[in-house]
Every structure is written in C-alpha cells, then in structure tokens.
Amino acid sequence: MSGSRVVSENVKRWPRRLALGLAAMLVTLLALNGGSSSAADNVHGAVYDWARANPEQDVPVLIQTDGDSDAVADFILSSGGTVQREFEIIPAVETDVSPAFISALAGHPSVAWISLDAPVVSTGGSDAVDTRYLTTAYPFAVNAPEVWNGDVSRTGRGVTVAVVDTGITNNNKDFKDGKKSRVLFDVAIETVAEGASFPAFLNDDAFIAAAVERGTAIGDAREYTFVGCG
C-alpha cells in the first residue's frame, strides 16, 4: 500500500513539474523576443540565435529603415540604447541592443528589417574550408548544371558584372584577364584598421564575389566580363 501511495504522489507531482518547466521556457522565450510570444516577421532568425547563444550580451544589429533613420535612431537613444552609426548612403542604422529590446525595436513603424551585424572572422587558419571541395560541391549547390544544360546554355557570355566594394585591389587575379576584365578605378579610404598591421579588407566580400561569379577556382560562369570599382 505504501509503495502504491508513493507512485500515486509522484504521478500527481509530474504535471506540476511539467507546468513549471514549460513556464520557465516561456519566460526565456519572452525575454529573447522582448516580451512577444512569437518572433517578429521583420527580424532575421540569426538575431534570435545570437541572443540565445550570448544571453548576457547586447545583440549587434543592422536596422534597415523605411527612410526615416533619424526617427529610429532617436527611438533607440530615448530607450537608453547607443547608436553606433547612422548611414547616409543607405537608410540604415547600426546599433547594439539588449535581447529584451528586440521586439519593441521591430515594432517601430520606421523599422523595415533587422539583421545580425555579425563580427567578421578570418577563414585563413588551419580550419579553413578546403577550396578543392568547392570545385565539385558548389556548382550543384546552386544548381548551375541545370543552367548550363538548359535549352539556352548560360555561361555568362556577353554579360558584364561590376563589383563596387571597399575590398577591391589590383592584385585580385579575377580582375586580371587582359583587357577583358579590369579594375576600373581604385580609391583607398582606409586600408589598415586602427590598431592593425594588415589591410582591413584583404578578405572582403568583393573577393568572394569575384570567386563566385567568375573565379578561376570555383566560378560557375567564367565567361563574364568583370569590372571592379572599389
């Protein structure tokens, strides 16, 4: 009898423990979403991933606005936040926000999209991607063979691709193809970051674009004419 009574008591306690566990999970989710029961539609999922992985840190984000960046910046400042940068060429604001503020920020009428301003990390170490695998894997990842073998084969012939970026240098081999591909002009603004002894943009996305679009190693449309402006 005593054994059955213990089992009965444990069974009665189980729903209560489950409810407490679910409540704790709900509190965590609400904190990450700024009090909202669901993720905002205009917030990239990586923002929430960062918040979950770094619960004690502010989340670095880039906010695309509807054009009224001043209103968004003022809202952040009035809420106790700090604006890192308000862009002039594009309608965007760079800031670090607490996870609890994400939902309120996403609900601002002038906020169009919030994405993670992820830190740039070097891929040049011992754990770097072996580009030999990209020569076989990448074309299939982007369904390039279907384009090559379609009714009209598309290899980039007759198409000119222009890359405007701070990472262009004349030494990029993808811009050296005789008179066909070239660097149109090169303006050096800040080649070495403060406190660093190497070019800040040595591995910038312009080089990635060069490799993807027409690169000698993994390019899928090597007949492009490539023009770099950076």
The pLDDT tens digits for 41-90 are 999 999 999 999 998 999 999 999 999 999 999 999 999 989 999 998 88
Residue with tokens 């020569």: 135
Indicate whether 219 pLDDT > 80: no
pLDDT more than 70, % of the chain: 45
What tens digit of pLDDT does each residue of 12-43 get?
Answer: 444 555 555 555 555 455 444 444 445 789 99
* Mean of all residue pLDDT scores within the chain: 69
What tens digit of pLDDT does each residue of 98-107 get?
Answer: 999 999 999 9
What tens digit of pLDDT does each residue of 167-199 get?
Answer: 556 666 665 655 555 555 544 444 444 444 444
Q: Which residues contact 127 (CB under 8 A, 6 or more apart)?
A: none
Q: According to the model, what pLDDT value does residue 124 have?
A: 65
CATH code: domain 45-116 is 3.30.70.80
- Mark 112-135 as b/e (b = at least 16 C-beta within 10 Å): ebbbbbeeeeeeeeeeeeeeeebe
pTM: predicted TM-score of the whole model, two decimal places: 0.47
**Per-residue confidence at 9, pLDDT binned at 50, 70, 90?**
very low
Q: According to the model, what pLDDT value does residue 202 have?
A: 40
Strand pairing of 182-185 and 59-65?
unpaired
Angle ∠(37,41,43) on CA atoms, nearest 5: 95
What tens digit of pLDDT does each residue of 126-143 get?
Answer: 766 666 666 677 677 777
Domain with CATH 3.30.70.80 in the chain: 45-116
Q: Using only C-alpha atoms, what is the Rg of the chain? A: 25
Q: According to the model, what pLDDT value does residue 111 have?
A: 97
